[in-house]
């Protein structure tokens, strides 16, 4: 079964840039779209990036997504304290025919 | 603005069936995929499955034997039934909408905590 691996935590100072990786040991990321979600404490996840690099309406361009091979990356520039949250990647597992999520990454803005 | 709202019992006994309903407002339930996703306390997200508005379904293989998801277009609602629950099924359950069966959930409910305990 494919596993989407994310770093458990990342941190950076306000105003800086951070990247969060999402990698796997299979070809699901390479063959399917990747989405990213932001989950603020005590709230439901919110779609940040879809189709690898597209932003829904209302999502600032400080958030970006990219994909290469079996990895995807979420980038956040101009970090704000309000960006402190858990971030999840998601894609389709073609072998199991189901959606899979990464384990999540906790972002701390120091 | 589309809004999703989960409802159902917050406490279920072991071996019983967990039943939740998601009410969709501000938009039609037609032409979308309607999913359930859960999150055990302090842990990550787990996909449960979806029902398309037409009634076709797809479930996470790890839960498939215990899950039923259905849509009621007349009420703009969809529901989740999870049978033979154990403490491991304790989680916040979210309902969500996607335009594709492959994920990309653009609207989510606020989530409801279901605890499995006697």
Q: Could you report the per-residue pLDDT of A36-66, keeping only the tens digit for each? A: 999 999 999 999 999 999 999 999 999 999 9
Closest residue to A104, CB basis, from B44, B103, B111: B44
H/E element holding A98?
Answer: strand A98-101
Q: Verify whether the Cβ–Cβ distance B59 to A98 is below 8 Å.
A: yes
pLDDT in tens, B31-49: 899 999 999 999 999 999 9
* Angstrom distance (rounded) from CA A59 to CA B82: 34
A vs B, Cβ pairs < 8 A, gives: 60
Block residue for tokens 């990321």: A29
Closest residue to A45, CB basis, from B60, B61, B108: B108
Q: Is A32 on the interface with B (CB under 8 A)?
A: yes
Tell me the residues of chain B between 84 and 103 that have a Cβ less than 8 Å away from chain A.
94, 102-103
């Amino acid at each position: 079964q494919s596993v989407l691996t994310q770093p458990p935590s990342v941190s950076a100072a306000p105003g800086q840039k951070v990247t969060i990786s999402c990698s796997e040991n299979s070809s699901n990321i390479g063959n399917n779209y990747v989405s990213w979600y932001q989950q603020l404490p005590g709230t439901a996840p919110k779609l940040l990036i879809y189709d690898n690099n597209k932003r829904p309406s209302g999502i600032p361009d400080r958030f970006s997504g990219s994909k290469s091979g079996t990895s995807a990356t979420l980038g956040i520039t101009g970090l704000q304290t309000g960006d402190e949250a858990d971030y999840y990647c998601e894609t389709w597992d073609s072998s199991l025919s189901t959606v899979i999520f990464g384990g999540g990454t906790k972002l701390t803005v120091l | 603005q589309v809004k999703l709202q989960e409802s159902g019992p917050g406490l279920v006994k072991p071996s019983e069936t967990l039943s939740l309903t998601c009410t969709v407002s501000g938009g039609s339930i037609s032409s979308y995929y309607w999913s359930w996703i859960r999150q055990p306390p302090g842990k990550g997200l787990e996909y449960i499955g979806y029902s398309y508005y037409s009634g076709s379904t797809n479930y996470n293989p790890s839960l498939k034997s215990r899950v039923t998801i259905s849509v009621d277009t007349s009420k703009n609602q969809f529901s989740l039934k999870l049978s033979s629950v154990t403490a491991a099924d304790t989680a916040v359950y979210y309902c969500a909408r996607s335009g594709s069966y492959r994920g990309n959930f653009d609207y989510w409910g606020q989530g409801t905590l279901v605890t499995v305990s006697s």
